[in-house]
Amino acid sequence: MTSTREAAPAAHSAADLRPYEAGRDAASPNRNLTPVTTGIDPEGRLVVGGCVLSDLARRYGTPLYVLDEATLRGTAQAYRKALASHYPGSALALYASKANSSLAITAVVASEGLGLDAVSAGELLTAVQGGMPPERIVFHGNNKSLEELRLAVELGVTVVADNWLDLEQLASLQPTHPVRLMLRFTPGIECHTHEYIRTGHLDSKFGFDPDQLQAVLQHLSQCSWAQVSGLHAHIGSQIFELQPHRDLAAVMADALKLAREMGHPVSDLNVGGGLGIRYVESDDPPSIDAWVRTVAEAVAVACQERGLELPRLLCEPGRSLVATSGVTLYSVGSRKDIPGIRTYLSVDGGMSDNPRPITYQSQYTAVLADRPEAEASDSVTLAGKHCESGDVLLKDLALPPATTGDVLAVFATGAYNASMASNYNRIPRPAAVMVHDGMAEVVQRREQPEDLLRYDVLPERLRPVA
């Protein structure tokens, strides 16, 4: 599969641009509201990756996912740099590809030296075909199918055993080479985030109960096909606190001690992901550097206190790695003014390309792509086009007066938007373009209405009689 690299019609070099100051925090990419390359051109229009956003909308249509390669690379480099400077042993960041799985994103993170975590055959194939070396891939899932496990074993990736069924199914495959296993357990740690994305508390569907760990390790001592190479836990997502990650290090070091005492030469400690990002001005997440420093120091100290040789430190950032590189472009359509109540401004996408607001009541920041700095004298509710009253992308958004056809840019949509998109109301999924140095490349083609019919089958007896 190849894509065409096109210079955007109104490409700009950084020298032509004024920086766009809103939500800028040079200290860490996950604290920015917008991609690092965001600027304003001499006509006052928003530019990302050297491309004028409204030109991209015209050329590729809307809704459109725009991914800024420089932001993605910068974030990957921030994780690598922080791990190298704060952890005394070896370390590897694995991109949690559930945040946004595509060949192009995989290729970028692989070329930056990161690994990847996948949770389905689809994510595994995307990873491998995107150029991620199998030895840098870990395979998760609380209900993996036998076929998925077979694929994982054939590819030679590390399998994260989540439950007894994983172990039974792996044994039934009679692997001819030792399978690298990581054991996921529930660490029993509470954190403050939406209940749907909290995973570390005991009442979670993910991982072995901590009380079962000893029995699992005992069982695996008898399994010649299994090589227990690591332990894994993940406490949740969009977390701003640092203390739960410190607490996790101590719980994991106890588990590491137990595993090693039972004769398993466990080398990897995988602390999962979870670092939050800034979606709106008032969000205040720790920087990537602060998060990594906290985790790295806590793991190093916890191991030292227990007399353990330092494991390799793995972490699995998803949202904080990719979210800020993404901007979604929509075209403004109809407007409904309800005097004294609210004004609805509808766009040509909604809950099918971004299900986060309706699922988690998530908030976003948006501006008009060609007038980002104009006085925001209106207050509107940005509605999607789906047959659902709850299909609202942003409530009470301050905007300059907007008319049909204006292009709207919603920031920080690079994570859990494209990957959670649906075809609700039979609406095709948007295209994605990657921008870099004034060039734009389609990295995911726009679905067409015919694509949506490809898997429908109309039985002969139901066919309309001609």
Ligand X SMILES: Cc1ncc(COP(=O)(O)O)c(C=O)c1O
Give least dist CB 302 to ligand X, A: 20
User: How far is residue 30's CA from residue 78's CA, in Å, rounded to a whole number?
Assistant: 10
CA 33 centroid distance within chain:
16
CB of 34 or CB of 320, closer to ligand X: 320
Token couple for 316 = 């699995």
The b/e string for 378-403 (b: 16+ C-beta within 10 A; e otherwise) is eebbbbbbbeeeebbbbeebebbebe
DSSP state of 157: P
Could you check whether the bond before residue 63 is cis, i.e. omega within 30 degrees of 0? yes
As a whole number of angstroms, the longest Cα–Cα distance in the chain is 80
CB of 8 or CB of 96, closer to ligand X: 96
CB of 45 or CB of 278, closer to ligand X: 278
Number of helices followed by number of strands (H, E) in the chain: 12, 22
231 within 8 A of 180, measured Cβ to Cβ: no
User: How far is residue 266's CA from residue 258's CA, in Å, rounded to a whole number?
Assistant: 10
Give least dist CB 272 to ligand X, A: 5
The DSSP bridge pattern shows strands 392-399 and 91-96 to be unpaired
User: How far is residue 108's CA from residue 334's CA, in Å, rounded to a whole number?
Assistant: 38
CB of 99 or CB of 440, closer to ligand X: 99
Binding residues for ligand X, rule: CB under 6 A, are: 96, 98-99, 117, 140, 197, 199, 234, 237, 272-275, 316-320
Give least dist CB 305 to ligand X, A: 26
Question: Residue 422: CB partners within 8 Å, gap ≥ 6?
Answer: 351, 352, 355
Catalytic, 387? Answer yes
Give least dist CB 27 to ligand X, A: 19
CB of 185 or CB of 411, closer to ligand X: 185
Handedness of CA 19, 23, 25, 30 (dihedral sign): negative
Give least dist CB 17 to ligand X, A: 30
> Which are the catalytic amino acids?
387
